Amino acid sequence: MCGIVGAIADRDVVPVLIDGLKRLEYRGYDSAGIAVVDGDDVRRVRRTGRVAEMEAAAAQEGFNATLGIGHTRWATHGGVTETNAHPHVSHGVALVHNGIIENHEQQREKLRAMGYEFESQTDTEVIAHLIHSFLAQGADLLSAVQQAVRELHGAYALAVVSRKEPGRMIAARMGCPLLVGLGDGENFVASDVSAIVQATRRVIFLEEGDTADVTRASVAVYDGNGEAVQRDVHISDVSLASLELGPYRHFMQKEIHEQPRAVGDTIEAVMDNGAFSASLFGEGAADVLRDVEGVQILACGTSYYAGLTARYWIESIAKIPCSVEIASEYRYRDAVANPKNLVVTISQSGETLDTMEALKYAKSLGHAKTLSICNVPESAIPRASRLVYYTRAGAEIGVASTKAFTTQLVALFTLTCTIAKLRGVLDDATEASYLDALRQLPGSVQHALNLEPQIVAWSERFAPKQHALFLGRGVHYPIALEGALKLKEISYIHAEAYPAGELKHGPLALVDEAMPVVVIAPNDALLEKVKSNIQEVRARGGEMFVFADADSQFGESEQVHVIRTPRHVGVLSPIVHAIPVQLLAYHAALARGTDVDKPRNLAKSVTVE
Ligand code: HGA
């Protein structure tokens, strides 16, 4: 969601802001803007559309300054217009905001009564006027921001500058990510490190309620009570290569093809260890995991489907109950907590607001056994969790998650086996066979990627369709769900997934020759059942696209097309079968000419409700 970058230096910061916004564009891309402090003036340029359009406008107007802030927007309050784009300005104070201010209407009324006029429909503009109202009472910029945020309900990450104080930039965070980058005689703020990695790798992650007073030569951080605090300095290991497209056409394509490496990196610790071990999940993990009575998984979107897949593993291998719930539902219902259960949150960014709030709610109900599976070190969710397993997918830029999903599955399988072992229900021979399956997984994923030419041929038949059905059974049903999600989010073809056994209870009514039906059907205990379901579709004239594996015998016909992964990989089969459905969605989207990495209305790192 919205991306923030700010810089203060003794060089022109405009290229830093523009470059940073381009790297943050995956977080939001409906409009972009920058504001710079130039002499005793604040100048801004904003444009709807992509950063490149705003960049051209800034170049035309000759923007050049040593202090500035920038923003890419994903609108929540107010349409996609230039007046709603950030930065918002009030009497020489400019700010950029990520988040939602829930009491913006009350604040707006109060500020209107004080004489402030509003030009936008955003919740953000109230913050600019509120800060100015405190400056007008004599506060300096830091104190004005600190007083203003105390009046706000909701979530925010802010970067603020003022023409009256051209030597400083104030940052503040509550509920949305924000970090300070430490340079040499120059400093930065950003939503994530990718925006500033070309300038510095030394970063301070602001904590909830923090404000930071950033000058060229210093950074002072204050907690929510206004007390000066020391926050650790981290050295980011984000690689520049992971942020570049390289020879690929899209980040999604690159990230799909990185999966053998991503999966290999994620299992490395298990392989080095030579066994499933609680130590993989952090200090004291054995004590936390040993006696768990059940697992409650909380997540959103693709991560939720990873959780649904894990439920099959956890109940069959670790032999404890597992429930999986969408985080935004769990956080608002009266849940009954069993503190002996393990709460597992899954989030690629580690900043997903709904998941974070669900975790806080679970903790408030007495859940102390918490574990997060995340891809971004030092992000908010792992910091709020007792245990963590970091997937090592590397930066995921494409809005549609791919390598994060498969690596989450690896982490969840590792967790399953670890709990099973601690509970004494995983014998040595089975452990060895699972370790071997994991060891072979990068190769199996590569074999699935090699199916791409056949999938390209299928995708051309998909491109003209309006709707598609995805079917799976058992542990492959969540893969059908993920396939349908991928297809709809990037190709805009309406797609739904059903457990294959549900077909006759309703969705079969939709099947005709215009409705392609994708079936995930590797050889497992339910294969014969799936085959019967395929016959039911065939009898109604439906055209089927079946992803099978070497062991599942299928008769092909004009109506039934089959692509086989070259080997049957047993328990890890859902991970391998995630690959062809990703490729199908990618190539269908390409054939339809959509913006694959930046699908309409979406954004990455969902930091608003
Ligand atoms: N509420 C603000 C910022 C939106 C945001 O953070 N999106 O991720 C707006 O609508 O401009």
Q: Which atom of ligand 1 is nearest to the CA of 606?
A: 8
- Are 408 and 346 spatial neighbours (Cβ–Cβ below 8 Å)? yes
- Closest by CA to 577, choosing from 457, 491, 497, is 497
Please give the distance, rounded to the nearest whole angstrom, from the Cα atom of residue 86 to the centre of ligand 1. 9
**251-445 CATH choice from 3.40.640.10, 3.40.50.10490, 3.30.420.40, 3.60.15.10:** 3.40.50.10490
Mutational pocket test of ligand 1: of 76, 96, 122, 174, the residue with most ligand atoms within 8 Å of the beta carbon = 76
**What angle is formed at CA 224 by the lines to CA 221 and CA 225, rounded to 5 degrees?**
100
Q: Cα(first)–Cα(last) distance of the chain, in Å?
A: 11
Task: Tell me what pLDDT residue 208 has.
Answer: 94
Topology alike, domains 251-445 and 452-592? yes
Q: Which residues does 579 contact at the CB level (< 8 Å), separation at least 6?
A: 256, 259, 406, 445, 448, 449, 451
C-alpha distances (whole Å) from 165 to each of 10, 147, 168 are 15, 17, 6
The whole-angstrom separation of Cα 514 and Cα 537 is: 12
Overall fold of domain 2-243:
Glutamine Phosphoribosylpyrophosphate, subunit 1, domain 1 (3.60.20)
Q: Which atom of ligand 1 is nearest to the CA of 603?
A: 8
The whole-angstrom separation of Cα 2 and Cα 26 is: 9
The whole-angstrom separation of Cα 138 and Cα 510 is: 67
Task: Tell me what pLDDT residue 373 has.
Answer: 98
Q: Which helix (H) or strand (E) holds 71?
A: strand 67-73
Task: Tell me what pLDDT residue 37 has.
Answer: 97
Taking residues 505-533, report their average pLDDT.
86
Q: Which helix (H) or strand (E) holds 374?
A: strand 370-374
Q: Which atom of ligand 1 is nearest to the CA of 86?
A: 11
pLDDT higher than 80, residue 555:
no
Please give the distance, rounded to the nearest whole angstrom, from the Cα atom of residue 97 to the centre of ligand 1. 7
Domain assignments of the chain as residue spans, ordered by start = 2-243, 251-445, 452-592
Please give the distance, rounded to the nearest whole angstrom, from the Cα atom of residue 108 to the centre of ligand 1. 16
Q: Which atom of ligand 1 is nearest to the CA of 97?
A: 3
Count of other CB atoms within 10 angstroms of residue 246: 8
Taking residues 201-209, report their average pLDDT.
96
User: Which residues are marked as active site?
Assistant: 2, 604
- Residues 243-283: pLDDT tens digits? 889 999 999 999 999 999 999 999 999 999 999 999 999 99
Task: Tell me what pLDDT residue 292 has.
Answer: 97
48 phi and psi angles, rounded to 5 deg: -75, 160
Please give the distance, rounded to the nearest whole angstrom, from the Cα atom of residue 498 to the centre of ligand 1. 34
Task: Tell me what pLDDT residue 149 has.
Answer: 98
Structure tokens that stand for 359 in this block? 């975790």
How is residue 501 annotated by DSSP? G
pLDDT higher than 90, residue 495:
yes
Mean pLDDT score across all residues of the chain = 95
- Are 180 and 204 spatial neighbours (Cβ–Cβ below 8 Å)? yes
Please give the distance, rounded to the nearest whole angstrom, from the Cα atom of residue 509 to the centre of ligand 1. 41
The whole-angstrom separation of Cα 28 and Cα 243 is: 16
- Residues 53-83: pLDDT tens digits? 999 999 999 999 999 999 999 999 999 999 9
- Residues 382-431: pLDDT tens digits? 999 999 999 999 999 999 999 999 999 999 999 999 999 999 999 999 99
Q: Tell me the pTM.
A: 0.92
Q: Which atom of ligand 1 is nearest to the CA of 27?
A: 8
Superfamily for 452-592?
Glucose-6-phosphate isomerase like protein; domain 1 (3.40.50.10490)
Mutational pocket test of ligand 1: of 123, 156, 399, 609, the residue with most ligand atoms within 8 Å of the beta carbon = 123
Q: Enumerate residues lining ligand 1, CB below 6 A.
A: 1-2, 28, 73-78, 97-100, 122-124, 607-608
pLDDT confidence of 538, banded at 50, 70, 90?
confident
Structure tokens that stand for 518 in this block? 């994708």
Task: Tell me what pLDDT residue 239 has.
Answer: 82
Please give the distance, rounded to the nearest whole angstrom, from the Cα atom of residue 155 to the centre of ligand 1. 10
Mutational pocket test of ligand 1: of 69, 72, 122, 607, the residue with most ligand atoms within 8 Å of the beta carbon = 122
Report the relative pairing of strands 88-90 and 67-73 from DSSP bridges. Answer: unpaired
- DSSP-assigned letters across all residues of 76-94: SSS-S-TTTSSPEEETTEE
